Each structure stands twice: as C-alpha cells, then as structure tokens.
Structure 1
Amino acid sequence: MTPADCDRVARIRVAGWQSAYRGLMPQSYLDGMSAADNAGRLRARLAAGDASVQNLVAVGAAPAPTGHPGRDDEIVGWACHGPYRDGEVRTDDAELYALYVDPRHQGRGIGRALLDESVRRCTAAGRRRVFLWVLEENAPARRFYARGGFHADGAAEPFEVAGVEVPEVRYVKELGSPG
C-alpha cells in the first residue's frame, strides 16, 4: 500500500464496517464513520515507517456504470498484519490487524487471497502463530477465518464502541516453518 492508496483503502474499511457490523454495534457510530478521517490516520501510520507492519492491497476489476468497462486497477481489498500486540508489548507472534473487501466484491476470493498472502508472509518472517480478533457475534467472519485454518483459542475481551461493549474473541493459526 502506498500513501496514494489510503483514500480508497479508507473507503473500503468504512464500507466494510458499515456492512459487516450492522446490528452488531451502534448504528449511529457506523453512520458517523469518516473515510477522510480514516485515510488521514492510514497516511500517518505509513509515514511513521514501521517496517514490521505490512499493508497489502488487492487490485481487480471494479464495477463501473452500466455500459462502461470496469477498471482493472481499482483497489478492492486491504489487509494489514504485523507483530502481535499483548497490551503495549509486541511479541514474536503475528497479528492480522485488519482485513476488508469492498462489499461489492465479497464472495470472489479476494479476502481469501489477502488472508493467504498475510499468512504466507508471517510464515516467511519466522512467526510461530498468527492471531486476530473478531466480533463474537460476527458469524460470517468467524466462519471465514475457520475455513482459513484459524480457531478460537478461548481468549475474549470487550471492545467499546460509542459506550457499548461489543465482545471480541481471539482466533489463532499455528504456522509451519518458512521452508
């Protein structure tokens, strides 16, 4: 991902939250999300230059208005991974921080490709495990990660959104050797 990609990635992230988390967290919070604010935070993180955090984008044909061809260079998905965060401490394990696909492109294998590439890169970096947090009530995401070889490990914690606690559960995938 480059700084030029941040606006599109932010729109995908906001659309992903508004689609996937409808009914799982306060609608007023989802409606108030700003792609512009999110893009600014993404640009700031990229500018910080933390090489241990990797942002991947998936590019593909995006839908276009009727009668016009789709664009083959449109970003349609984004994943971000890096060291696992245990509070403020980074560990030797990896964490998938985010994975979002433009809702218009879901079900086409884009999320699976991003997940597989993140796992491949974590394995190549010598990480033993990859963790991720998912909303407890987000059954579609939980099934998606289970199909990718992840499983709930029993850890749970509340995630507060607009004053409402939304429980998250932790998933883990054991990695093989990079060979």
Structure 2
Amino acid sequence: MEIRFLNENDDPIAVSNIYEQSWKYAYKGIIPQDFLDSIPPGRWVRHLGKEDMRHLVMLEDGRMIGTASVCKSRWEHYSDYGEIVSIYFLPDYIGKGYGRQLFRRCVDELQNLGYRRILLWVLEENARARAFYEKNGFHCANEYLEDTIGGKQVREVLYTAFPD
C-alpha cells in the first residue's frame, strides 16, 4: 500500500472514476438516484487541477483505490484551519481500514503545513462518514450549510479537530 501526491503521470480520469464510483456507493439513498446514475465520466478532473489543493492518491499493488484533497480552509471564518475537502475510495475498499490510513495522512499533511486546527464538511445524512470522522477524533461543530444536489435539498455539517 502506498500513499503519495497525485503527479503528472497519473491518469486524471482514473482518479475521477474513484470519486464517481464512491459517490454512487456512499450517497445511494441520500442523493437522488437519477443524479448519481447520470454522473458523467471525468466529472472531477477539473477539481484535480486546482493548484491551491494538495491531492493524494492511495494505491494497492499499483492500482489507485482512493483519493483525498486537502488545502487551507476555503472559509473566511476559519482562515487559520486546514481543510480536508474530500476523501473517497473505490467501493470494494470502503470499510476495510484503508480510510483510516488515508485520513491520517491528510491530517499529517495539514499539520506539516502548519495547521493545528482542521475542518471538514460532511452530508448530514451520511451516518457512516460521520461515525468515521467521530471515531477519528473529529467533533460536530453544529454549523450547517444548505445545498442542493440533484434537485434535493441537503445539509452539510461542519466537523472540526485539534489534533496533537
């Protein structure tokens, strides 16, 4: 197992595919199915080009199985926080301990950048992810964002941590 930064030799479509498959698996029953079914290949390629973010990939036996993105908080009110923007896995690798390793690397990267406080946003209805974040030292900050995904109103919940 290897975790490293995304580089110019990596196939952005392969990374985007991790997002696409993970969304279809993790958000089933949360986001409208017709929206999930209509996610086009390569939808997240543009996200990978954002230079203000650091993109990580996790590989097992040379195959990309997970990806994550971190950056300085995108929220003015939390300008001294680092942010875990995303963490996604191919469905066959969810719930098998890989997430903890990639998540820990995200926290380490943000700490290496000098952040002592970290935040992330998670869909309120995503009980599995919320339990994962809580198990890994993050706490619900009782702050919410309203959004619309696939025509459905959703709420995102802010989670924060102050790792050692």
TM over 0.5: yes
Which residue identity lines up with residue 70 of structure 2 in the other structure? Answer: H
What is the aligned partner in structure 1 of residue 57 from structure 2?
A: 57
Q: Deviations over 1:45-93 (max 9, x none)?
A: 2xxx33xx21111110xxxxxxxxxxx1001000100011116x87121
Percent of pairs identical after alignment? 33
Q: Give 3-state SS (helix, strand or coil) of 1:37's partner.
A: coil
Superposition deviation, residue 30 in structure 1: 0.7
What is the aligned partner in structure 2 of residue 144 from structure 1?
A: 132
1:165 equivalent to 2:149? Answer no
Q: Given the superposition, is the C-alpha separation of residues 116 and 43 from structure 1 closer, same or farther in structure 2, using an over 3 Å criterion?
A: closer
Superposition deviation, residue 17 in structure 1: 0.5
Q: Give 3-state SS (helix, strand or coil) of 1:107's partner.
A: coil
Moved over 4 A (4+): none
1:123 equivalent to 2:128? Answer no
Which residue identity lines up with residue 24 of structure 2 in the other structure? Answer: Q
Instruction: Give structure 2 stretches of 5+ with no counterpart.
Output: 1-5
Q: Where in structure 2 are the equivalents of 1:93-132 lying within 5 Å?
A: 93-132=81-120
What is the aligned partner in structure 2 of residue 38 from structure 1?
A: 44
Q: Give 3-state SS (helix, strand or coil) of 1:149's partner.
A: coil
Superposition deviation, residue 34 in structure 1: 1.5
What is the aligned partner in structure 1 of residue 66 from structure 2?
A: 77
Separation in 1 of the partners of 2:92 and 2:126? 19
Separation in 1 of the partners of 2:55 and 2:124? 25
Q: Deviations over 1:13-49 (max 9, x none)?
A: 011111011111111111111122322x14532xxx3
What is the aligned partner in structure 2 of residue 174 from structure 1?
A: 162
Q: Given the superposition, is the C-alpha separation of residues 153 and 43 from structure 1 closer, same or farther in structure 2, using an over 3 Å criterion?
A: closer
Separation in 1 of the partners of 2:78 and 2:143? 17
Report the TM-score when normalising by structure 1. 0.82
Instruction: Give structure 1 stretches of 5+ with no counterpart.
Output: 61-71
Match of 1:155 among 111, 130, 143: 143
Contact map agreement 2:48 2:55 (CA 8 A) in 1: no
**When the two structures are aligned, how many residues end up with a matched partner?**
158
Report the TM-score when normalising by structure 2. 0.89
Q: Given the superposition, is the C-alpha separation of residues 44 and 80 from structure 1 closer, same or farther in structure 2, using an over 3 Å criterion?
A: closer
Separation in 2 of the partners of 1:103 and 1:162? 21
Separation in 2 of the partners of 1:35 and 1:2? 20
Separation in 2 of the partners of 1:25 and 1:119? 28
Contact map agreement 1:15 1:102 (CA 8 A) in 2: yes
Which structure is larger by alpha-carbon Rg, 1 or 2?
1
